[in-house]
Chain A
């Protein structure tokens, strides 16, 4: 057996000072954890999708079947489309802020005052 600890080594830092981007470091730490979790949700969803397809096909399955499973091109596209949908859902705030860049909407407070006058 190798003396290497794969889990510790997998997450090792690369040499080079790490840049931080968000105004608050805690926010960036949290975002990084959330995105790693998002990755694991996608992994679980793909596994569930594999199980469903195998059961539909064979009415039974083993863990080895899951490991061997290769989706057809059409199946892979359905799975890929799901991941794109998933990312669109979790990154919604970025989409809305992007849309707001060119919007000149008044705030609800302003509109309330305005509506009280007309």
Chain B
């Protein structure tokens, strides 16, 4: 090694060190490869007085499930559309020499496609994992949860249970959305674990799109009413198919002077619902156990507003007709009924989309979903006695704190065919006498 080379070597070394420094600085300053687009951490979920204890790992499990659902909607499902366009539809046309005639033909053809099969197998497994995760949390602390609910609801006239109520077939036939025990099963007397499981796991299924207290849908409905029905001051509100009350509480909060009656068939939901409402400081809701196809305990013209949110698709044709008739009877003149649902299958909706929307009906234990969505709701409302010119149509998307939760209205990257937190509103005003 000669002395003359040394300075050059040193120079090279210095250059290398400099480059290393610059690289390190760049790496530190460099933004992530792409802005994060996904659910928030589970720990942002609001803790009300009925909320179960959730361990670190149990929260992590819900985090994974929220990401898995997002991945299925945003990454895997687009492959189903691609396979449909590239292979399924051309193959059908070649074989039959014609287009698909209805959504059932589309689904039958999709069932043969490996992309659809894998997306479906993963989606079903994810739902089962979600149920297991939530049930583990709530059932392992069943005693504590049930005692909390008992303490909060004891001798409270706002809880009316009917132990003799016959379970309607539309609830008894199948455990909706793969929720073992559905809305009604009591593992022990005074059980609320099923309701708590439903509550804590909605985050995973919606990727946090319903907000801290799963109330983004109800907040949106209340806002919609205030915006579109100026001066409407309901004194009595009826919520049918209320479940654990997460959709009706924001309505009760938006109209604090109103008396709200929330009806459901499941006792665990109602117990938990009242306890949860009280712990959140919402005191103007009564929870009543009844089959909504028979609302005979309530008097004619006794409500200003009747609401159902994502409920009609879990009933039956006869129940729907009864509900429409009963709402017409129960409303005072000038009162309104609103049903919030996913869009109906009409001619403007492509058959592929209809078939995809039917997925929950056939593979996620929501069998009536497919039948409900083919009905002409306007026609049924008119047949129940509402005037055509009094029908109400609108759309709402979950309202959440945008600093914390993803906003359904702004989400254009994924369409989850039936599970997105954005809905149609169909309703009617009862003609003034």
Contacts and interface: CB of A to CB of B under 8 A. Distances in A.
Nearest to A45: B60
A67 B75 contact: no
B115 A46 contact: no
A95 B75 CA distance: 8
A16 B172 CA distance: 10
Given A36-B129, A76-B40, A50 B362 contact: no
A75 B124 CA distance: 30
B121 interface: yes
A76 B181 CA distance: 33
Given A21-B117, A35-B122, A87-B68, A79 B63 contact: yes
Contacts of B404: 73
A75 B41 CA distance: 9
B124 A46 contact: no
Contact of B61 (A39, A50, A84): A39
Contacts of B83: 98, 101
Interface in A18-36: 18-23, 28, 31-32, 35-36
Given A4-B188, A31-B125, A101-B86, A14 B143 contact: no
Nearest to A9: B139
Interface residues of B, number: 65
Contact of B363 (A3, A19, A36, A73): A19
Interface of A: 1-4, 6-7, 9-16, 18-23, 28, 31-32, 35-36, 38-39, 42-43, 46-47, 50, 66-67, 69-71, 73, 76-77, 79-81, 83-84, 87-88, 91, 94-95, 97-98, 101-102
24 contacts: A6-B136, A6-B139, A10-B132, A12-B181, A15-B174, A16-B178, A21-B117, A21-B120, A31-B125, A35-B126, A39-B68, A46-B56, A67-B56, A69-B56, A71-B41, A73-B40, A80-B38, A80-B41, A80-B63, A80-B67, A91-B71, A94-B75, A101-B87, A102-B82
Interface of B: 32, 36, 38-41, 43-44, 55-57, 60-61, 63-65, 67-68, 70-71, 75-76, 78-79, 82-83, 86-87, 114-118, 120-122, 124-126, 128-129, 131-133, 135-136, 139-140, 142-143, 173-175, 178-182, 187-188, 362-363, 365, 367, 404
